[in-house]
Chain A
Amino acid sequence: MDTKTLTHLQRLEAESIHILREVVAEAENPVMLYSVGKDSAVMLHLAKKAFYPSPPPFPLLHVDTTWKFQDMYKLRDKAAADAGMELLVYQNPEAKERGINPFDHGGLHTDMWKTEGLKQALDKYGFDVAFGGARRDEEKSRAKERVFSFRSANHRWDPKNQRPELWRLYNARKTKGESVRVFPISNWTELDIWQYIHLENIEIVPLYFSQPRPTVERDGLLLMVDDERFPLAEGEEPVMRSIRFRTLGCYPLTGAVESEAQTLPEVIQEMLLTTTSERQGRAIDHDQAASMEKKKQEGYF
């Protein structure tokens, strides 16, 4: 009998699809959190594969901060339409009213727009399961995160009370009010993500590719001046630099790298030869060593 050797990407894909289907079979009202980044792009692609020929039987939810890159908003709307899925966009009304922004409010920006915004959105629509694109290789505290991560009725993560996950068996039963965050691409690494995007020809935001863009340097981060809301210091002039991004978030919080990589293979090449880890470009992790664990307990994804 012929055997067919599955590659690591085929096994990862099969595992992710299995997880996506398991949730749809057991959840009452699932949703996929969609942040428009490369991980979201892969997760959405896997969902299309898992349920084909049906469209993925849940909506996409973008918890918006109003401070994402313009290119991200464009791809967001197109990706949802291409997949034939409903797109829900949620902006925390209180953050909007108070004009919370990353320049004046520091950590409060992430807290109100993202952490609070996410909780409000899940409560508003009554979603009991939310898919997220987090990966275990991203950061130390994620290495022990479950695929099915339970949250109490007030969205808190209790690291002492997580369920053991054996074989391919996931216990999705929950009591009323509890919700679950499910991470279908837990076992993918950054390199796996890029290889899969390359192999499957998945559309991603052009910001991942190098191009001359207007930039300023702040606190060691290279920031892109994406719109006129960016407050320039006196005499400060944006400088055109060839830059790209390894991760995408709110543009005033996301550091760019100088690069000449304009194609996917070049991006992967640069990534493999690079000597700093992925999350260095994110201001959010620099707060304190155990910051991610703390944010997770409070309900950040």
Chain B
Amino acid sequence: MTTQDPIYKTDALIAEDIDAYLEAHQHKTMLRFITCGSVDDGKSTLIGRLLYDSKMIFEDQLAALESDSKRSGTQGEEIDFALLVDGLAAEREQGITIDVAYRFFATEKRKFIVADTPGHEQYTRNMVTGASTADLAVILIDARKGVLTQTRRHSYLVHMLGIRHVVLAVNKMDLVGYEQETFERIVADYRAFAESIGIESFTPIPISGFKGDNITGPSENTPWYDGPALLPLLEEVEVEDTRDQAGPFRMQVQWVNRPNLDFRGFSGMIASGQVRPGDPVRVLPSGKTSTVARIVSLEGDKDLAVAGESVTITLADEIDCSRGQVIVASQSPLEVADQFESTLVWMDENELVPGRAYWLKIGTQTVSATVAEPKYEVNVNTQEHLASKTLDLNAIGIANVTTDREIPFAPYAENRDLGGFILIDKITNHTVAAGLLHFALRRAQNVHWQATDIGRDHHASMKHQKPAVLWLTGLSGSGKSTIANIVEKKLARMNRHTFLLDGDNVRHGLNKDLGFTEADRVENIRRVGEVAKLMTDAGLIVITAFISPFRSERDMVRGMMQPGEFVEVFVDTPLEVAESRDVKGLYAKARSGQLKNFTGIDSPYEHPEAPELRIDTTEMTPEEAADLIIARLIP
């Protein structure tokens, strides 16, 4: 082994003058990076080598490593560094989650956090997760193989996530005889590809993780290479926080600190810029302005705080400001919008349902949001655009996102904290997607709400009634339409102004363009919800009879209405009973396979968890059911 003397030997200073050592080390900076490549590229060997050369391996670990190397290593009598970090390979054999592992090492100048993720296509979400916090990416190439499909995939993802520093580590140079031509051919190939996807610059280094060439210092084996070795480069690269400090001041309010009536502090991490007492600021989206009074800390007030620090500030004026709002430099406010074009990386086993409401968390704010059908999906291997109606696990696509209220944001390319978001499923609470906001859609800015003089209260009082939505949900054949019809007749006799929206009827007109896929069912209910809302604004009592099988959409409609106006009525009929009735002969068709996506047969029905009313149709007649519903409405 051509082991060079590690230049990171610090034992002497530690032993001779520990105080000087500590003083020096308190001023280290930190760099987070990601290594992209597969086991075959020597990724684990490289990470193991970095840990070893920076003395992060203890004697007991080294002893274990030496014995493991002899037993199961692939490097003969030499130490197999890959075994140090190859937890992932072992996991794959055992069928445990392949995941992101974080590893730590330090040199004289820096502490490093390495996100170690598997490189195969089925682990795109893991790579995206690891890359989301990285300042730099090391893209590994096997010198014998050159630029491969996976190299292109990794580079595309790294660029998409806005990592500005890319190191192209051409590995296993020892196996190609340290040939300059091989290295230069690979670099030229890569440069052509990198430019085509918008990577402006990268640093190529010929290395051998196994032999240690160009890791800690220049290698004698590559006299033709005069660029930096890997570790010195990692020590010098500019970290993201320093760059963020140059931008205008932005802080997402995380928590309001109120120990007593005399103190009101706003806590959060500064996403961009700097702040000093006396700086004029604006709170978004409200737009209220004030000036910074103090930057408060346990050690006493500070006169400066910068991007990347978690701080508590107070303002000179008593203005409204709460979690989720953003405090910004008053002369350079952020854009505020509710419709965006975004990139989504889908991370869940369940695919995207366009139109469904998800929680969207951006910074410290969580809002409800829907995603439109993707404009296109990206093939991560070829970067081709594909037509797609949805996104499934590991898919990446471009889609419009609409939030239920306006949020302050910055394009992701400008700032990760202000432009990166996650989507959360409202039922399972899983994180289903990562998203990058690109720009606000004009539509949102140009369409304003027109105030009208005759309001909803006026409409309702003319009819001497309180508007409501009686939302009947249940299986096909449960009796929704029958019951709804009786309810409307009874209400008409009581001089109530009503309207009945029936599932089948609506599909003849308003929704005749929709089918029965999950996405179409969501859109069906959304439109009916909007119509019902207009009708309640007009003062009507709306009765609806829709299967409406998904909890998320029923909750979405509930959210559209005024509190208390939505009455969920679960028409509860066991599947066997509904199927035996089979008034329209639909169950028979579904069972024979002529009808797809039929609720209860090959499409799920999510029963309500806490409906306002539950009607057991095996226990009561439609007439009795109608009376029960009316009693709930008019006590």
Contact = CB atoms under 8 A, between A and B. Distances in A.
Contact of A277 (B58, B129, B306, B308): B58
Contact of A21 (B255, B263, B362): B255
B100 interface: yes
Interface stretch (B198-206, B240-248, B485-493): B240-248
Contact of B28 (A7, A169, A274): A7
A168 B417 contact: yes
Contacts of A140: 87
Given A50-B310, A268-B18, A173 B424 contact: yes
Interface in A261-297: 265-266, 268-269, 272-277, 280
A187 interface: yes
Interface in A162-183: 162-169, 171, 173-175
Query: Size class of A's contact patch?
Result: 35 or more
B60 interface: yes
Most buried by A among B87, B241, B359: B241
Contacts of A163: 430-431
A191 B30 CA distance: 14
Nearest to B116: A143
B149 interface: no
Given A25-B255, A54-B259, A171-B361, A3 B420 contact: no
Nearest to B270: A14
Contacts of A51: 257, 267
A286 B588 CA distance: 63
A191 B424 contact: no
A169 B361 contact: yes
B275 to A, nearest CB: 12
B120 interface: no
A216 interface: no
Given A54-B259, A265-B22, A167 B416 contact: yes
A174 B429 contact: yes
B361 A166 contact: no
Given A52-B298, A171-B361, A198 B22 contact: yes
Given A166-B132, A268-B18, A189 B104 contact: yes
B309 A14 contact: yes
B304 interface: yes
Nearest to A9: B26
B18 A4 contact: no
Contacts of B245: 1, 3-4
Name the residue in B245, B255, B296 with the highest tally of chain A Cβ atoms < 10 Å from its Cβ.
Answer: B255
A3 B246 contact: yes
A12 B30 contact: yes
Interface stretch (B72-80, B105-113, B280-288, B574-582): B105-113
Contact of A265 (B19, B298, B308): B19
Interface in B388-447: 416-417, 420-422, 424, 429-431, 434
Contacts of B548: none
A53 B110 CA distance: 32
A143 B60 contact: no
A53 B269 CA distance: 17
A280 B113 CA distance: 24
Contact of A14 (B19, B28, B269, B362): B269
B310 A18 contact: yes
Nearest to B98: A144
A210 B471 CA distance: 72
A48 interface: yes
Nearest to A191: B106
B422 A171 contact: yes
Interface string B153-167: 000000000000000
A246 B87 CA distance: 26
A268 B22 contact: yes
B323 interface: yes
Q: Which of B110, B297, B306 has the most CB of A within 10 A?
A: B306
Contacts of A5: 29, 242
Contacts, number: 188
A162 B27 CA distance: 35
A199 B26 CA distance: 8
Interface string B11-31: 100110011011001111110
A126 B151 CA distance: 49
A166 B259 contact: no
B417 A14 contact: no
A6 B309 contact: yes
Interface in B273-319: 274, 296-298, 304, 306, 308-310, 312
B344 interface: no
B310 A273 contact: no
A1 B309 contact: no
B60 A276 contact: yes
Contacts of B330: none
Contact of B30 (A8, A52, A273): A8
A193 to B, nearest CB: 12
B29 A167 contact: no
Interface in A188-232: 189, 191-192, 195, 198-199
A169 B269 contact: no
Contacts of A186: 102
A14 B251 CA distance: 13
A159 interface: yes
A189 B96 CA distance: 26
A50 B103 CA distance: 26
B384 interface: no
A164 B102 contact: no
Contacts of B113: 187
A24 interface: yes
Nearest to A165: B129
Contacts of A123: none
Nearest to A166: B132
B475 to A, nearest CB: 25
A159 B97 CA distance: 7
A160 interface: yes
Interface string B526-555: 000000000000000000000000000000
Contacts of B126: 164
Given A25-B323, A187-B113, A277-B61, A53 B263 contact: yes
A119 interface: no
A9 B30 CA distance: 8
A137 interface: yes
Q: Which of A141, A164, A167, A174 has the most CB of B within 10 A?
A: A164
B99 interface: yes
A173 B60 contact: no
B254 interface: yes
A136 interface: yes
A187 to B, nearest CB: 6
B128 interface: yes
Contacts of B28: 7-8
Given A11-B30, A21-B254, A273-B11, A164 B110 contact: no
Nearest to B128: A166
Contacts of B263: 53
A140 B28 CA distance: 25
Interface in A4-35: 4-15, 17-18, 21-22, 24-25
A166 B434 contact: yes
Nearest to A174: B429
A192 B10 CA distance: 16
A144 B308 contact: no
Given A171-B361, A272-B14, A164 B431 contact: yes
11 contacts: A4-B304, A5-B242, A17-B269, A21-B254, A144-B102, A168-B133, A175-B429, A187-B113, A189-B106, A269-B21, A277-B60
Given A21-B267, A265-B22, 10 more contacts: A1-B274, A3-B246, A3-B306, A4-B304, A21-B254, A21-B310, A53-B263, A160-B97, A166-B128, A191-B106
Closest 5 CB pairs of A and B: A275-B59, A8-B30, A17-B310, A8-B111, A54-B259
